[in-house]
Structure 1
Amino acid sequence: MSFTCRNQSCGAQWELSDVVIKNEGQGLLFRCPMCGARNYVERFESDDGTVVYEQLEGRPFQ
């Protein structure tokens, strides 16, 4: 699973092990290690109980 920084001038690719996913009050996100941009994700659990994150295009609905 990989993520792409949504900051248009950055666009860096990151693996899950490269980022820290947390909630800063606006939903789950990771900050790009290169430019610091917020990149929002959604958390899911697969059938076997594994936690999976999917990157969102923009901000999550509140």
Structure 2
Amino acid sequence: MFTCKNQSCGTQWELSEVVIKDEGQGPLFRCTLCGARNYVERFEADDGTVVYEQIEGRPLN
């Protein structure tokens, strides 16, 4: 589960509800409600599946 880091928003999203893309500053998703950029890090699990984790403390742009 991901949480929008915009202080006035804070909406929680499942991976299936967000679109993760790279806008030139690394992988992120934009909150559908407020448009804030929320950065994530991409990992590969031992079984080869792709896993994303939200980066804490990355500033909003």
User: TM-score normalised to the size of structure 2?
Assistant: 0.92
Q: Which residue of 2 aligns with 1:21?
A: 20
Structure 1 unpaired stretches of 5+: none
Tell me which amino acid in the other structure corresponds to 1:32. C
Across the aligned residues of Structure 1 and Structure 2, the Cα RMSD in angstroms comes to: 0.8
Aligned ranges for residues 1-62 of structure 1 at < 5 Å? 2-57=1-56, 58=58
In the TM superposition, what is the alpha-carbon distance from 1:50 to its structure 2 partner?
A: 0.7
Q: 3-state DSSP class of the match of 1:30?
A: strand
Residue correspondences, number: 58
- Identity percentage of aligned residues: 79
User: TM-score normalised to the size of structure 1?
Assistant: 0.91
Structure 2 unpaired stretches of 5+: none
Tell me which amino acid in the other structure corresponds to 2:13. W
Moved over 2 A (4+): none
Q: 3-state DSSP class of the match of 1:9?
A: coil
